[in-house]
Protein backbone atom coordinates (compact mmCIF):
# COMPACT_ATOMS: atom_id res chain seq x y z
CA UNK A 1 0.00 0.00 0.00
CA UNK A 2 1.55 3.32 -0.93
CA UNK A 3 0.68 6.40 1.08
CA UNK A 4 2.44 9.58 2.07
CA UNK A 5 2.14 8.72 5.73
CA UNK A 6 4.86 10.54 7.65
CA UNK A 7 5.48 9.65 11.30
CA UNK A 8 9.08 10.86 11.65
CA UNK A 9 8.55 12.75 14.92
CA UNK A 10 6.53 9.88 16.40
CA UNK A 11 9.38 7.53 15.54
CA UNK A 12 11.98 9.78 17.18
CA UNK A 13 9.95 10.27 20.34
CA UNK A 14 9.14 6.59 20.62
CA UNK A 15 12.79 5.65 20.12
CA UNK A 16 13.62 7.85 23.13
CA UNK A 17 10.67 6.43 25.08
CA UNK A 18 12.01 2.90 24.56
CA UNK A 19 15.14 3.87 26.49
CA UNK A 20 13.15 5.43 29.32
CA UNK A 21 10.13 3.18 29.91
CA UNK A 22 9.59 -0.59 29.50
CA UNK A 23 8.42 -1.07 25.92
CA UNK A 24 8.31 2.72 25.59
CA UNK A 25 4.80 2.93 27.05
CA UNK A 26 2.91 3.43 30.28
CA UNK A 27 0.48 0.59 29.48
CA UNK A 28 1.16 -2.41 27.20
CA UNK A 29 -2.00 -2.22 25.06
CA UNK A 30 -0.68 0.99 23.53
CA UNK A 31 2.46 -0.60 22.14
CA UNK A 32 1.13 -1.89 18.76
CA UNK A 33 2.90 -5.19 19.50
CA UNK A 34 0.37 -7.37 17.71
CA UNK A 35 -0.36 -5.15 14.71
CA UNK A 36 3.16 -4.27 13.62
CA UNK A 37 4.71 -0.86 13.21
CA UNK A 38 5.07 1.35 16.22
CA UNK A 39 2.64 3.52 18.16
CA UNK A 40 1.93 7.01 16.96
CA UNK A 41 2.61 9.66 19.56
CA UNK A 42 -0.36 11.91 20.24
CA UNK A 43 -0.20 15.66 20.43
CA UNK A 44 -3.84 16.65 20.99
CA UNK A 45 -7.41 15.40 20.79
CA UNK A 46 -10.75 17.06 20.05
CA UNK A 47 -14.22 15.63 19.36
CA UNK A 48 -13.80 12.47 17.25
CA UNK A 49 -10.24 13.40 16.24
CA UNK A 50 -6.66 12.77 17.29
CA UNK A 51 -3.65 14.63 15.93
CA UNK A 52 -0.21 13.11 16.25
CA UNK A 53 3.08 14.96 16.72
CA UNK A 54 3.60 14.94 12.93
CA UNK A 55 0.22 16.66 12.58
CA UNK A 56 -1.55 13.68 10.99
CA UNK A 57 -5.27 13.73 11.82
CA UNK A 58 -7.18 10.53 12.60
CA UNK A 59 -10.83 9.68 13.24
CA UNK A 60 -10.57 7.90 16.59
CA UNK A 61 -12.40 4.70 17.54
CA UNK A 62 -10.46 4.06 20.75
CA UNK A 63 -11.62 7.12 22.67
CA UNK A 64 -8.84 6.81 25.24
CA UNK A 65 -10.04 3.19 25.71
CA UNK A 66 -13.59 4.20 26.55
CA UNK A 67 -13.89 7.41 28.55
CA UNK A 68 -14.33 9.79 25.59
CA UNK A 69 -17.99 8.93 24.93
CA UNK A 70 -18.97 12.60 24.56
CA UNK A 71 -16.03 13.18 22.23
CA UNK A 72 -12.55 14.21 23.28
CA UNK A 73 -12.06 17.40 25.28
CA UNK A 74 -15.76 18.28 25.25
CA UNK A 75 -15.99 22.06 25.74
CA UNK A 76 -18.40 21.72 28.68
CA UNK A 77 -16.16 19.20 30.43
CA UNK A 78 -13.12 21.40 29.87
CA UNK A 79 -14.97 24.49 31.17
CA UNK A 80 -16.14 22.64 34.29
CA UNK A 81 -12.60 21.40 34.89
CA UNK A 82 -11.13 24.88 34.53
CA UNK A 83 -13.54 26.20 37.16
CA UNK A 84 -12.82 23.27 39.50
CA UNK A 85 -9.08 23.70 39.05
CA UNK A 86 -9.31 27.17 40.59
CA UNK A 87 -10.34 25.52 43.85
CA UNK A 88 -7.38 23.14 43.94
CA UNK A 89 -6.41 19.75 42.63
CA UNK A 90 -6.86 17.41 45.59
CA UNK A 91 -8.49 17.56 49.01
CA UNK A 92 -7.95 14.12 50.56
CA UNK A 93 -11.12 14.91 52.48
CA UNK A 94 -14.86 14.76 51.79
CA UNK A 95 -16.20 17.06 49.07
CA UNK A 96 -19.74 17.64 47.91
CA UNK A 97 -18.85 16.62 44.35
CA UNK A 98 -18.56 13.01 45.56
CA UNK A 99 -22.18 13.16 46.76
CA UNK A 100 -23.30 14.55 43.41
CA UNK A 101 -21.58 11.85 41.33
CA UNK A 102 -22.60 9.11 43.80
CA UNK A 103 -26.23 10.14 43.51
CA UNK A 104 -26.05 10.14 39.71
CA UNK A 105 -24.50 6.66 39.69
CA UNK A 106 -27.02 5.30 42.21
CA UNK A 107 -29.93 6.74 40.20
CA UNK A 108 -28.63 5.28 36.97
CA UNK A 109 -27.29 1.81 37.73
CA UNK A 110 -29.99 -0.66 38.86
CA UNK A 111 -27.95 -2.67 41.38
CA UNK A 112 -26.10 0.23 42.99
CA UNK A 113 -27.50 1.44 46.32
CA UNK A 114 -24.13 2.64 47.66
CA UNK A 115 -20.88 3.36 45.90
CA UNK A 116 -17.16 3.75 46.73
CA UNK A 117 -14.96 5.80 44.39
CA UNK A 118 -11.43 4.64 43.56
CA UNK A 119 -8.93 5.64 40.88
CA UNK A 120 -9.10 2.96 38.18
CA UNK A 121 -11.01 -0.06 36.95
CA UNK A 122 -8.25 -2.33 38.24
CA UNK A 123 -8.62 -0.88 41.72
CA UNK A 124 -12.40 -1.21 41.56
CA UNK A 125 -12.20 -4.89 40.60
CA UNK A 126 -9.56 -5.87 43.16
CA UNK A 127 -11.55 -4.10 45.87
CA UNK A 128 -14.87 -5.62 44.92
CA UNK A 129 -13.34 -9.09 44.97
CA UNK A 130 -12.15 -8.56 48.53
CA UNK A 131 -15.67 -7.42 49.38
CA UNK A 132 -17.26 -10.48 47.77
CA UNK A 133 -14.97 -12.70 49.85
CA UNK A 134 -15.56 -10.72 53.02
CA UNK A 135 -19.33 -10.80 52.65
CA UNK A 136 -19.69 -14.49 51.81
CA UNK A 137 -16.81 -15.82 53.90
CA UNK A 138 -15.79 -17.84 50.81
CA UNK A 139 -12.59 -17.60 48.77
CA UNK A 140 -13.18 -19.04 45.32
CA UNK A 141 -14.41 -16.99 42.40
CA UNK A 142 -15.44 -17.83 38.87
CA UNK A 143 -14.19 -15.66 36.03
CA UNK A 144 -14.41 -16.20 32.28
CA UNK A 145 -11.63 -16.93 29.80
CA UNK A 146 -10.74 -13.79 27.87
CA UNK A 147 -12.46 -11.44 30.31
CA UNK A 148 -10.17 -8.80 31.77
CA UNK A 149 -10.75 -7.23 35.17
CA UNK A 150 -7.56 -5.22 35.49
CA UNK A 151 -4.10 -6.43 36.37
CA UNK A 152 -4.46 -7.48 40.03
CA UNK A 153 -2.87 -10.89 40.71
CA UNK A 154 -6.04 -12.93 41.19
CA UNK A 155 -7.45 -11.86 37.80
CA UNK A 156 -4.41 -12.67 35.67
CA UNK A 157 -5.72 -16.10 34.82
CA UNK A 158 -6.73 -16.71 31.21
CA UNK A 159 -7.26 -12.95 30.98
CA UNK A 160 -8.05 -10.78 27.96
CA UNK A 161 -6.97 -7.31 26.79
CA UNK A 162 -3.19 -6.66 26.78
CA UNK A 163 -2.28 -10.07 28.19
CA UNK A 164 -4.25 -11.78 25.42
CA UNK A 165 -2.69 -9.46 22.85
CA UNK A 166 0.80 -10.28 24.09
CA UNK A 167 0.05 -13.99 24.61
CA UNK A 168 0.69 -13.76 28.36
CA UNK A 169 -2.66 -14.78 29.86
CA UNK A 170 -1.02 -15.93 33.11
CA UNK A 171 1.72 -13.49 34.13
CA UNK A 172 4.98 -14.47 35.85
CA UNK A 173 5.21 -12.88 39.27
CA UNK A 174 1.68 -13.88 40.22
CA UNK A 175 1.97 -16.38 43.11
CA UNK A 176 0.17 -19.67 42.48
CA UNK A 177 -1.42 -19.30 45.90
CA UNK A 178 -3.15 -16.13 44.68
CA UNK A 179 -4.79 -17.74 41.71
CA UNK A 180 -5.70 -21.20 42.99
CA UNK A 181 -9.02 -19.71 44.11
CA UNK A 182 -9.72 -18.29 40.64
CA UNK A 183 -11.80 -20.80 38.67
CA UNK A 184 -12.41 -20.20 34.98
CA UNK A 185 -15.07 -21.11 32.46
CA UNK A 186 -15.61 -20.31 28.79
CA UNK A 187 -17.79 -17.21 28.31
CA UNK A 188 -21.40 -17.97 27.34
CA UNK A 189 -21.10 -21.52 28.77
CA UNK A 190 -23.67 -21.89 31.55
CA UNK A 191 -23.10 -25.63 31.84
CA UNK A 192 -19.42 -25.08 32.65
CA UNK A 193 -20.38 -22.63 35.39
CA UNK A 194 -22.92 -25.04 36.79
CA UNK A 195 -20.28 -27.79 36.89
CA UNK A 196 -17.90 -25.52 38.84
CA UNK A 197 -20.61 -24.78 41.38
CA UNK A 198 -21.38 -28.51 41.71
CA UNK A 199 -17.69 -29.33 42.21
CA UNK A 200 -17.18 -26.54 44.77
CA UNK A 201 -20.41 -26.31 46.77
CA UNK A 202 -20.36 -23.62 49.52
CA UNK A 203 -16.91 -22.45 48.41
CA UNK A 204 -17.60 -19.93 45.64
CA UNK A 205 -17.93 -16.30 46.70
CA UNK A 206 -19.24 -15.22 43.35
CA UNK A 207 -19.13 -14.94 39.61
CA UNK A 208 -17.43 -11.95 38.04
CA UNK A 209 -17.79 -11.07 34.36
CA UNK A 210 -17.95 -8.45 31.66
CA UNK A 211 -21.67 -8.63 30.81
CA UNK A 212 -20.67 -7.72 27.26
CA UNK A 213 -17.05 -8.69 26.65
CA UNK A 214 -14.80 -5.97 25.31
CA UNK A 215 -11.43 -7.45 26.20
CA UNK A 216 -11.37 -10.39 23.76
CA UNK A 217 -12.76 -8.14 21.10
CA UNK A 218 -16.50 -7.46 21.26
CA UNK A 219 -18.55 -10.51 22.37
CA UNK A 220 -22.19 -10.09 23.45
CA UNK A 221 -23.85 -12.51 25.87
CA UNK A 222 -25.98 -15.26 24.33
CA UNK A 223 -29.71 -15.09 25.10
CA UNK A 224 -30.29 -16.40 28.61
CA UNK A 225 -26.62 -16.38 29.69
CA UNK A 226 -26.82 -13.45 32.11
CA UNK A 227 -30.20 -14.63 33.41
CA UNK A 228 -28.76 -18.13 33.92
CA UNK A 229 -25.83 -16.75 35.93
CA UNK A 230 -28.26 -14.77 38.08
CA UNK A 231 -30.21 -17.93 38.90
CA UNK A 232 -27.14 -20.11 39.50
CA UNK A 233 -25.50 -17.60 41.85
CA UNK A 234 -28.72 -17.31 43.82
CA UNK A 235 -29.11 -21.08 43.98
CA UNK A 236 -25.57 -21.52 45.37
CA UNK A 237 -25.58 -18.54 47.75
CA UNK A 238 -22.95 -16.71 45.71
CA UNK A 239 -22.75 -13.11 44.49
CA UNK A 240 -23.01 -11.91 40.90
CA UNK A 241 -20.65 -9.09 39.95
CA UNK A 242 -20.84 -7.25 36.62
CA UNK A 243 -17.62 -5.56 35.62
CA UNK A 244 -19.11 -2.58 33.78
CA UNK A 245 -15.86 -0.64 33.53
CA UNK A 246 -16.35 -0.69 29.75
CA UNK A 247 -20.11 -1.07 29.39
CA UNK A 248 -21.19 1.29 32.20
CA UNK A 249 -22.87 4.41 30.79
CA UNK A 250 -21.75 3.17 27.34
CA UNK A 251 -24.21 0.56 26.12
CA UNK A 252 -27.03 2.26 28.05
CA UNK A 253 -27.09 4.97 30.69
CA UNK A 254 -27.61 2.24 33.30
CA UNK A 255 -25.10 -0.09 31.61
CA UNK A 256 -25.55 -3.71 30.58
CA UNK A 257 -27.75 -4.42 33.60
CA UNK A 258 -30.27 -1.88 32.32
CA UNK A 259 -29.92 -3.05 28.71
CA UNK A 260 -30.41 -6.77 29.52
CA UNK A 261 -32.68 -6.39 32.55
CA UNK A 262 -30.48 -8.56 34.78
CA UNK A 263 -29.51 -7.04 38.12
CA UNK A 264 -26.29 -8.27 39.72
CA UNK A 265 -25.41 -7.82 43.40
CA UNK A 266 -22.35 -5.68 42.73
CA UNK A 267 -20.88 -3.66 39.87
CA UNK A 268 -17.58 -2.06 39.00
CA UNK A 269 -17.33 1.09 36.92
CA UNK A 270 -14.52 3.18 35.44
CA UNK A 271 -13.69 4.90 32.16
CA UNK A 272 -16.86 6.95 31.32
CA UNK A 273 -17.59 7.93 34.93
CA UNK A 274 -14.26 9.76 35.06
CA UNK A 275 -14.90 11.75 31.89
CA UNK A 276 -11.23 11.32 30.93
CA UNK A 277 -9.72 11.62 34.39
CA UNK A 278 -8.67 8.61 36.49
CA UNK A 279 -11.76 7.22 38.26
CA UNK A 280 -13.10 3.80 39.13
CA UNK A 281 -15.95 2.80 41.41
CA UNK A 282 -17.57 -0.23 42.93
CA UNK A 283 -21.06 -0.37 44.27
CA UNK A 284 -24.08 -2.53 44.84
CA UNK A 285 -26.53 -3.70 47.46
CA UNK A 286 -26.40 -1.55 50.59
CA UNK A 287 -26.12 -4.57 52.91
CA UNK A 288 -22.96 -5.67 51.08
CA UNK A 289 -21.46 -2.19 50.69
CA UNK A 290 -21.98 -1.55 54.40
CA UNK A 291 -19.09 -3.96 55.01
CA UNK A 292 -16.65 -1.46 53.48
CA UNK A 293 -14.50 0.47 56.00
CA UNK A 294 -15.14 2.64 57.89
CA UNK A 295 -18.82 1.57 57.87
CA UNK A 296 -17.65 -2.02 58.21
CA UNK A 297 -14.48 -4.11 58.59
CA UNK A 298 -13.42 -4.67 54.96
CA UNK A 299 -10.52 -2.30 54.44
CA UNK A 300 -9.97 -0.35 51.25
CA UNK A 301 -8.62 3.21 50.90
CA UNK A 302 -7.09 5.81 48.55
CA UNK A 303 -5.34 9.18 48.87
CA UNK A 304 -6.75 10.55 45.60
CA UNK A 305 -10.10 8.72 45.66
CA UNK A 306 -13.04 11.07 45.12
CA UNK A 307 -10.64 13.63 43.66
CA UNK A 308 -12.50 16.90 42.92
CA UNK A 309 -11.25 17.23 39.33
CA UNK A 310 -12.12 13.63 38.50
CA UNK A 311 -15.55 13.98 40.13
CA UNK A 312 -16.17 17.17 38.13
CA UNK A 313 -15.32 15.56 34.79
CA UNK A 314 -17.50 12.57 35.66
CA UNK A 315 -20.48 14.69 36.69
CA UNK A 316 -20.36 16.81 33.53
CA UNK A 317 -19.96 13.73 31.33
CA UNK A 318 -22.98 12.00 32.88
CA UNK A 319 -25.02 15.21 32.54
CA UNK A 320 -24.19 15.30 28.83
CA UNK A 321 -25.12 11.63 28.42
CA UNK A 322 -28.37 11.83 30.37
CA UNK A 323 -30.27 13.62 27.63
CA UNK A 324 -33.07 12.22 25.48
CA UNK A 325 -31.87 10.48 22.34
CA UNK A 326 -28.23 9.94 23.40
CA UNK A 327 -28.22 6.16 23.22
CA UNK A 328 -30.47 5.99 20.13
CA UNK A 329 -27.97 8.17 18.35
CA UNK A 330 -24.99 6.12 19.51
CA UNK A 331 -26.78 2.91 18.51
CA UNK A 332 -27.58 4.29 15.05
CA UNK A 333 -24.11 5.47 14.07
CA UNK A 334 -22.32 2.48 15.58
CA UNK A 335 -24.59 -0.01 13.83
CA UNK A 336 -24.02 1.82 10.58
CA UNK A 337 -20.27 1.41 11.10
CA UNK A 338 -20.47 -2.24 12.13
CA UNK A 339 -22.92 -3.26 9.37
CA UNK A 340 -20.85 -1.32 6.85
CA UNK A 341 -17.60 -3.04 7.82
CA UNK A 342 -19.22 -6.48 7.53
CA UNK A 343 -20.75 -5.66 4.14
CA UNK A 344 -17.44 -4.38 2.80
CA UNK A 345 -15.61 -7.46 4.07
CA UNK A 346 -18.12 -9.64 2.24
CA UNK A 347 -17.88 -7.63 -0.99
CA UNK A 348 -14.10 -7.76 -0.91
CA UNK A 349 -13.99 -11.49 -0.20
CA UNK A 350 -12.95 -11.63 3.45
CA UNK A 351 -14.47 -13.90 6.09
CA UNK A 352 -15.63 -11.63 8.91
CA UNK A 353 -18.10 -11.36 11.74
CA UNK A 354 -18.90 -8.81 14.41
CA UNK A 355 -21.55 -6.54 15.79
CA UNK A 356 -22.33 -3.61 18.05
CA UNK A 357 -24.41 -2.52 20.99
CA UNK A 358 -24.87 1.20 21.38
CA UNK A 359 -21.42 2.85 21.35
CA UNK A 360 -19.38 -0.37 21.46
CA UNK A 361 -18.48 -2.56 18.49
CA UNK A 362 -16.19 -5.31 17.27
CA UNK A 363 -15.03 -6.96 14.10
CA UNK A 364 -13.17 -10.28 13.64
CA UNK A 365 -11.56 -11.72 10.52
CA UNK A 366 -13.23 -15.11 10.92
CA UNK A 367 -16.55 -16.43 9.69
CA UNK A 368 -17.59 -16.85 13.31
CA UNK A 369 -19.82 -16.76 15.15
CA UNK A 370 -17.69 -15.67 18.11
CA UNK A 371 -19.20 -16.72 21.45
CA UNK A 372 -16.03 -16.82 23.54
CA UNK A 373 -12.29 -16.27 23.62
CA UNK A 374 -11.47 -19.55 21.83
CA UNK A 375 -13.69 -18.44 18.94
CA UNK A 376 -12.08 -14.98 18.96
CA UNK A 377 -8.64 -16.54 18.61
CA UNK A 378 -9.71 -18.04 15.26
CA UNK A 379 -9.58 -14.54 13.77
CA UNK A 380 -6.83 -14.00 11.20
CA UNK A 381 -4.54 -11.88 13.36
CA UNK A 382 -2.08 -11.23 10.57
CA UNK A 383 -4.85 -9.87 8.38
CA UNK A 384 -6.13 -7.76 11.25
CA UNK A 385 -2.64 -6.29 11.64
CA UNK A 386 -2.49 -5.35 7.96
CA UNK A 387 -6.01 -3.93 8.11
CA UNK A 388 -5.10 -1.89 11.17
CA UNK A 389 -2.01 -0.50 9.48
CA UNK A 390 -3.87 0.37 6.28
CA UNK A 391 -6.56 2.20 8.23
CA UNK A 392 -3.98 4.04 10.33
CA UNK A 393 -2.06 5.20 7.28
CA UNK A 394 -5.29 6.64 5.87
CA UNK A 395 -6.36 8.47 9.01
CA UNK A 396 -8.45 5.96 11.00
CA UNK A 397 -7.30 5.06 14.51
CA UNK A 398 -8.53 1.63 15.64
CA UNK A 399 -7.53 -0.24 18.80
CA UNK A 400 -4.16 -1.81 18.03
CA UNK A 401 -5.30 -5.34 18.88
CA UNK A 402 -7.87 -7.82 17.65
CA UNK A 403 -8.70 -8.48 21.30
CA UNK A 404 -10.13 -5.06 22.08
CA UNK A 405 -13.56 -3.55 21.39
CA UNK A 406 -14.04 -0.35 19.40
CA UNK A 407 -15.79 2.74 20.72
CA UNK A 408 -17.78 5.54 19.10
CA UNK A 409 -18.86 8.82 20.67
CA UNK A 410 -21.44 11.56 20.43
CA UNK A 411 -18.91 13.51 18.38
CA UNK A 412 -18.89 10.91 15.58
CA UNK A 413 -21.30 11.87 12.81
CA UNK A 414 -22.68 9.95 9.84
CA UNK A 415 -20.04 11.72 7.73
CA UNK A 416 -17.26 10.34 9.92
CA UNK A 417 -18.71 6.86 9.56
CA UNK A 418 -19.07 7.24 5.77
CA UNK A 419 -15.46 8.38 5.51
CA UNK A 420 -14.32 5.45 7.67
CA UNK A 421 -16.20 2.96 5.52
CA UNK A 422 -14.85 4.46 2.32
CA UNK A 423 -11.32 3.98 3.66
CA UNK A 424 -12.12 0.47 4.94
CA UNK A 425 -13.23 -0.41 1.40
CA UNK A 426 -9.88 0.77 -0.03
CA UNK A 427 -7.90 -1.11 2.60
CA UNK A 428 -9.85 -4.36 2.46
CA UNK A 429 -9.67 -4.41 -1.34
CA UNK A 430 -5.88 -4.47 -1.02
CA UNK A 431 -5.47 -6.93 1.86
CB of 26 to ligand HOZ, least distance (A): 8
Nearer to ligand HOZ, 97 or 256 (CB): 256
Strands 360-364 and 406-407: antiparallel
Burial of 174 (0-12, 13-18, 19+ CB in 10 A): middle
Residues 6+ apart with CB under 8 A from 23: 31, 33
- In the bound state with ligand HOZ, the residue whose beta carbon lies nearer, of 160 and 314, is 160
Out of 6, 21, 22, 27, the only residue in the binding site for ligand HOZ (CB under 6 A) is 27
Q: How far is the CB of 237 from ligand HOZ (least distance, A)?
A: 31
| Site membership for ligand HOZ, residue 280 (CB under 6 A) | no
Q: Report the alpha-carbon distance of residue 365 to residue 345 in Å, rounded.
A: 9
CA 192 – CA 173 distance, rounded (Å): 28
**Residue 29 or 108: which CB sits closer to ligand HOZ?**
29
Which of 34, 119, 136, 161 binds ligand HOZ (CB under 6 A)? It is 161
181 contributes a contact to ligand HOZ by CB under 6 A: no
- Residues contacting residue 135 through CB under 8 Å, at least 6 positions apart: 205, 239, 288, 291, 298
Pairing state of beta strands 353-357 and 49-52? Answer: unpaired
Select from 13, 29, 141, 411 the one that contacts ligand HOZ (CB under 6 A): 29
159 contributes a contact to ligand HOZ by CB under 6 A: no
The whole-angstrom separation of Cα 409 and Cα 186 is 30
- Restricting to residues 341-380, name those near ligand HOZ by CB under 6 A: none
Given 61, 65, 236, 397, the residue binding ligand HOZ (CB under 6 A): 65
Dist CA 79 CA 317 (whole Å):
12
| Cβ proximity to ligand HOZ, 25 vs 291, nearer residue | 25
404 binds ligand HOZ (CB under 6 A): yes
Distances (CA, A) of 167 to 62, 146, 160, 233, 347: 21, 11, 9, 31, 32
- How many residues bind ligand HOZ (CB under 6 A)? The answer is 8
CB 213 within 8 A of CB 149: no
Please give the positions annotated as active site: 148, 243, 271
Q: Does 162 bind ligand HOZ (CB under 6 A)?
A: yes
207-266 residues near ligand HOZ, rule: CB under 6 A: 215
Residues that bind ligand HOZ (CB under 6 A): 27, 29, 65, 148, 161-162, 215, 404
Amino acid sequence: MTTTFNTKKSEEIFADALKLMPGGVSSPVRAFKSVGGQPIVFDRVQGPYIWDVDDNQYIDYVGTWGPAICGHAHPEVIAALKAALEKGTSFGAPCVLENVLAEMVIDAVPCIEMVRFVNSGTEACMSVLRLMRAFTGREKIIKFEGCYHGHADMFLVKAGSGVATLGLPDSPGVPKSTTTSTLTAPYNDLEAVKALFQQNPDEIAGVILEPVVGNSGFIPPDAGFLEGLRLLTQEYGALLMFDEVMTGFRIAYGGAQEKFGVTPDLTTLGKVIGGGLPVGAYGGRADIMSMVAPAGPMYQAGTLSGNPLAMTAGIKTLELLNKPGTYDYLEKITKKLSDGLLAIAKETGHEACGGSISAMFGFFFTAGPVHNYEDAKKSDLNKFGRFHRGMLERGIYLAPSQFEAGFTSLAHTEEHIDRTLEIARQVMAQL
